[in-house]
Structure 1
Amino acid sequence: MKRLDQLSLRQLRALQTVAQTGNISVAAEQLGLTGPAVHSQLKTLEEIIGSPLIVRQGRARNSVTPQGEVLLEAYDELRAALERAITNINALNHGHSGSVVLGVVSTGKYFAPRIVALCQREFPGIEISLSIANRRDTVASLKRGALDLCIMGRPPRDPLTHEIALGEHPHIVIAAADHPLARVPHVPREALLSERWVMREEGSGTRILAARFLDEIGLGHTAPTLEMDSNETIKQAVLSGLGLAMISAHTVAEELASGRLVALKVEGSPIYRQWYLLSGQDRPLSPAAEKVRDWIVGHTGDYFPKLDI
């Protein structure tokens, strides 16, 4: 415990900034300190921990040792716990009984704000914050304890979570209303290979699903692709006639209803996945988070978009 008492947040922040920049001088500039001051903080931290934390790799480039990585992971969790504590304190200061941070992957941003609005109407004493990010960042936030609850499609392998299925998450092949295939009652699967496909970035769950779908059709033949970094840009690209896309039907409910986009009738589509509500196994939910969890599970019909596909 003596070593723990000697640690400071400034030392840990210095380590994190050096790890991010790879350079003590650049880290010092970002922190508003001198290079020697940052070096001194790192040296003190290494003496406290009893292990080297930074390795110099020439030309002032620095990398973090395995011991340093372990310490940085703990720092991320500590910062998340402190941020949650401040959120709870602010909620109490404003007369609320508690706070809940709800994380949602970017595909769910089309219905997540409605969840927050309905929950705040149901529980005026609970302050609810919404955190929307891509899958990678959402999983990272869940792992470091920054989220009470999380909505996503495929639960991660790490961290371990409690999962509750909320409902079907259909993925469809979309085209602009004036695309030639939009008027075909039953689109041959082989016809899709001659079309350009607008895809999400590598690592996206939607990208993986679309790639598997095309691989199954192609039998070794690949379709030309165009990469976009968000569902919004994919929608605009398809509307502009740049190609077809496989996308969550929940992200294009309004465009389908208005007729601006069309869900192609293709064998094997829609592809149905599930939406899940997750919470970390490593710590229990607060009473406020339990109330919000139970409401989300029991009112899926109130916030998921109505679809006719």
Structure 2
Amino acid sequence: MIRIDALSLKQLRALRAIAAEGSLTAAAAEIGLTAPAIHSQIKSLEAAVGAPVLTRAPQTGRMTLTEIGAEVLRAAHQVEGILSQLKARVGSRFAGRQGHVTLSVVSTGRYFAPRLVQMLQECCAAIDITLRVGNRDAVIDDLDHGRCALAVMGRPPRIPAVTATPLGPHPHGVVLPPHHPLAGADGFDPTALLGETFLSREAGSGTRILMHRFLDRFAEAEAVRIVEMDSNETIKQAVLAGLGIAFLSLHTVADELRAGRLVLLRGPNLPVMRHWYLVRPQAFGPDPAAERIAAGIEALHASYLPKLPDAAGLSA
């Protein structure tokens, strides 16, 4: 039986360090302890949980987590996230503010998130807001470990458990240079489309997942030539340069579409319509500041989203 009262932050810190570094010596150097001291913390942790938390891989000698250790590490990350939020909230109180809220937004949302935060600062001026931007996996990790109170993303995750509120439409489509052979027609030949080079974000990106679902209607998406790039901006510039075409959130290319620098592929089932969601993790109790920011986001009625041109079934 686990003895919660015997657990300490030092023990959890030691476990996090070993999990990251793979050895007692490297972990000790990372957190400024001696190897015997960190070994003592792990022994105390194992006594508290009643089971080994680490084992040594026979081939490499690297310290790895047992199943129980993995559960303890997950809790350790959650504790770390909660304490980081506490630090920010207390700091806000000392600065005379009425709270602090960390808002995580998927990378695609960087095209409107700063405007959203600016609008929130006008309606909720007494609350400090920290904006974190990352890919879908990073935002889910923030939700899971308590590093954010709220998140804006596309499809909400199944794990961790969250409460999701739809905010507004999130159209996706295939973008092309204006003089591309597939541009301008009211339909497209799937064979010709599948013969193109698709420029895409990394695996784990929500847009990448949706792109595969769209292409799977015509063939196995794995058979399509995909060139991976590290940001939507890089992808846009590469499409403009004629290096390929891209399946993107249209909110990332609103300026280019209005200016005619990029055009949309037209045809059945395009654009692919999804929604933006405001997501709250269920594992952590409601915070008054976060609830106020959530209410502020909902009250804005998606007015912060980029305006899209009247084209291909999109409304301004």
TM-score (norm 1): 0.93
* Greater displacement, 27-36 / 93-102: 27-36
Measure the CA separation in 1 of the matches of 2:135 and 2:94: 31
Distance in 1, Cα, partners of 2:226 & 2:165: 35
- Name the % identity: 44
**2: CA distance, partners of 1:248 / 1:2:** 47
Counterparts of 2:2 and 2:155 in 1: how far apart (Å)? 42
Q: What's 2:256 paired with? A: 255
Alignment of 1:209-220 (within 5 A): 209-218=210-219
The CA distance in 2 between the partners of 1:78 and 1:92, in whole Å, is 21
TM-score of the two chains, using structure 2 as the length reference: 0.91
SS in 1 for 2:212: helix
CA distance in 1, matches of 2:288, 2:34: 46
Residue ranges of structure 1 left out of the alignment (5+ in a row): none
| Preserved contact between residue 214 and residue 222 of structure 1 (Cα < 8 Å) | no
Distance 2:291 2:144 in 1: 19
Structure (1 or 2) with the greater helix fraction:
1
The answer to whether the aligner puts 1:86 opposite 2:79 as a matched pair is no
User: 1:51: how far off?
Assistant: 1.4
| Matched pairs, number | 309
Unaligned runs of 5+ in 2: 312-316
Secondary structure at 1:277's aligned position in 2?
strand
CA RMSD of aligned residues (A): 2.1
User: Which range moved further: 112-121 or 183-192?
Assistant: 183-192
Contact kept, 8 Å, 1:77 with 1:144, in 2: the verdict is yes
Partner of 2:286: 285
Amino acid corresponding to residue 22 of structure 2 in structure 1: G
Do the aligned residues in 1 keep the contact of 2:184 with 2:266 (CA within 8 Å)? Answer: no
Shift of 1:181: 2.5
SS state of the match for residue 187, structure 1? coil
What are the equivalent positions in structure 2 for 1:178-189 lying under 5 Å apart?
178-189=179-190
User: Following superposition of structure 1 onto structure 2, how do residues 48-197 of structure 1 map, counting pairs within 5 Å?
Assistant: 48-58=48-58, 59-197=60-198
CA distance in 2, matches of 1:27, 1:158: 30
Task: For 1:19 and 1:2, locate their aligned partners in 2 and report how far apart those are by CA, in whole Å.
Answer: 21
Shift of 1:218: 3.0
Counterpart amino acid of residue 268 in structure 1: N
CA distance in 1, matches of 2:22, 2:224: 40
Per-residue deviation, 1:3: 4.3
Read off the aligned partner of 2:86 and give its amino acid letter. Answer: A
After superposing on structure 2, the runs of 4+ consecutive aligned residues of structure 1 that deviate more than 6 Å are none
Select between 185-194 and 152-161 the one with higher mean Cα deviation.
185-194
Flag the 1:268–1:88 CA change in 2: closer, same or farther, 3 A. Answer: same
Q: What is the CA-CA distance between 1:134 and the residue it aligns to?
A: 1.0
TM-superposed deviation, 1:55: 0.6
1:2–1:284 distance in 2 versus 1, CA, 3 Å: closer
Alignment correspondent of 1:27:
27
| CA distance in structure 1 between the aligned counterparts of 2:175 and 2:240, rounded to whole angstroms | 9
Point out the more displaced range, 4-13 or 67-76: 4-13
Contact map agreement 1:189 1:266 (CA 8 A) in 2: no
